[in-house]
Amino acid sequence: MILEIKNLVKRFNGNIAVDNVNISIKEGEIFGLLGPNGAGKTTTINTIIGLAKIDGGEITIFGKNIKSYEMEIKKDIGIVPQDIALYEDMTAYENATFFGRLYGLRDGFLKDSVEEALHFTGLWDKRHELTKRFSGGMKRRLNIACAIVHHPKLIIMDEPTVGIDPQSRNHILKSIRKLNEMGSTIIYTSHYMEEVEELCTYITIMDHGKVIAKGTKDELKGLIAFEEKTTFELSGMNYTVVDHIKKINGVKDCTMKGKTISVISQKNSKTLGKIIDAISSTDCEIISLSIDKPTLEGVFLTLTGRTLRD
């Protein structure tokens, strides 16, 4: 385990922000921390890097206690804060150099590492521009560059894609995967479930300061998904096909509304082929077909009765 959080409790003036949270992160993972606004994601992260005093629990990073080995541990962590943390009156190059130096890098190695980080985030050509003239997406990228200059073993990213255009977002997601391939463990928080679903190998869902579910994508979806819904749009109407489909093994229900047929089947019952056969045997053709897979959004909805973005 690269990071282990046990029974973490954090209060703000009596209000509980993190409530008995347990998290273990394996080396090499892209660990997703998913939760709506105010769930306690940032607070949890802040306690990991020693920014906030904790009211209870224990945090072990790289097998060491954060209290006793603070400076040693911090050297190997890179943090991408939720709010862009850069000096606006410094260039991209200067920002990366400044923070790289704070992590103890110096001279030629510092220079090379800064260059590497700026190339990595696609900012090398803009390195001599002042940060305040950067677009939101470029700032986000520089926010990441400053966190990776010192080649950290553990990179913590707190909603690194908030409020940016799709192009920058894709660039960022790609680079996160690359960083992971290069050997860094990633903690990634977000309230965009699509992102987390796409990126993360292991996911923990938080709400109101509590961990409400954890597991791999499939494990989490398994929590709610006992059924699959398939929708067909046909060229004409045929009521007998509904009866045929209902008789297929594994199909629980079938309804028709105009030219649209909805089929609910048991999960993994492999009914799709048989349903298509049944439709083909009539004079109708299938114009389109869609399968609703369970999503993390659905998981969250089921667990809390709310959607993530409420």
Partner 1 sequence: MKIFHIAYYTMIRNFRDKKSILLTLGLPILLILIIGTALNSADSPKTLDKISVAYVNEDKGAISKEFDAFLNIDDIKYFIDVREEKSYEDGIKLINEKKVEALIYIKNDFSGSISNEKKAVIEVYESPLNELHVSVVKSIVESFINRVNTMEVMYKMNADLSNQKFIQDKSIMDMPITAKGNIPRAIDYYAVTMLAVSLMYGTLFASYAMAEDKFENTYIRIKSSPTKAYINYLGKTLGTIATLLLEAILLIVFTKYAYHVNWGSNIPMVLFLSSLFSVFVTGLGIMAYVITNDEKKSGTFLNILTVFLTFISGGYVKINFNGIIFDKLVAFVPNKMFQTAMFNTIYDGSMHQTQACIIGLIVITVMIFFIVAGFGRRVLD
Instruction: Please say which residue, 118 or 261, places its beta carbon nearer to partner 1.
Output: 118
| Cα dist from 256 to 67, 228, 234, 290, whole Å | 63, 17, 10, 15
* DSSP 8-class letter at 151: -
Which of Mg ion, ligand ATP, partner 1, none does residue 297 bind to, with CB < 5 to 8 Å depending on kind? none
Residue 43 interacting with ligand ATP (CB under 6 A): yes
Q: Under the rule (CB under 5 A), what is the footprint of Mg ion?
A: 41-42, 82
| CB contact set of 26 (below 8 Å; sequence gap of 6+) | 1, 2, 185, 202
Residue 92 interacting with partner 1 (CB under 8 A): no
Instruction: Please say which residue, 84 or 118, places its beta carbon nearer to partner 1.
Output: 84
Instruction: Please say which residue, 178 or 309, places its beta carbon nearer to Mg ion.
Output: 309
| Residue from 271, 289, 292 nearest 225 by CA | 292
What tokens were used for 217? Answer: 């994508």
| CB contact set of 207 (below 8 Å; sequence gap of 6+) | 35, 36, 39, 300, 303, 304
Q: Which of residues 141-170 bind partner 1 (CB under 8 A)?
A: 146-147
107-120 and 92-102 helices, crossing angle to 10°: 130
With CB under 8 A as the contact rule, the residue among 18, 21, 33, 77 that binds partner 1 is 77
Q: Where are the beta strands (DSSP E) in the chain?
A: 3-12, 15-25, 30-34, 56-61, 64-65, 77-80, 154-158, 185-190, 202-207, 210-215, 227-234, 251-257, 260-266, 286-292
Q: Is 155 left (phi over 0), alpha (psi -120 to 50) or beta?
A: beta
With CB under 6 A as the contact rule, the residue among 8, 21, 34, 40 that binds ligand ATP is 40
Residue 65 interacting with partner 1 (CB under 8 A): no
Residue 82 interacting with ligand ATP (CB under 6 A): yes
Residue 191 interacting with ligand ATP (CB under 6 A): yes
Residue 152 interacting with ligand ATP (CB under 6 A): no
Which of partner 1, Mg ion, ligand ATP, none does residue 191 bind to, with CB < 5 to 8 Å depending on kind? ligand ATP
| Residue from 266, 263, 268 nearest 278 by CA | 263
Which of Mg ion, partner 1, ligand ATP, none does residue 71 bind to, with CB < 5 to 8 Å depending on kind? partner 1
With CB under 8 A as the contact rule, the residue among 102, 182, 287, 291 that binds partner 1 is 102
Residues of this chain that interact with partner 1 (CB under 8 A) are 46, 49-51, 70-72, 74-75, 77, 79, 81, 83-87, 89-90, 94, 98-99, 101-104, 146-147
Q: Which residues bind ligand ATP (CB under 6 A)?
A: 12, 17, 35, 37-43, 82, 191
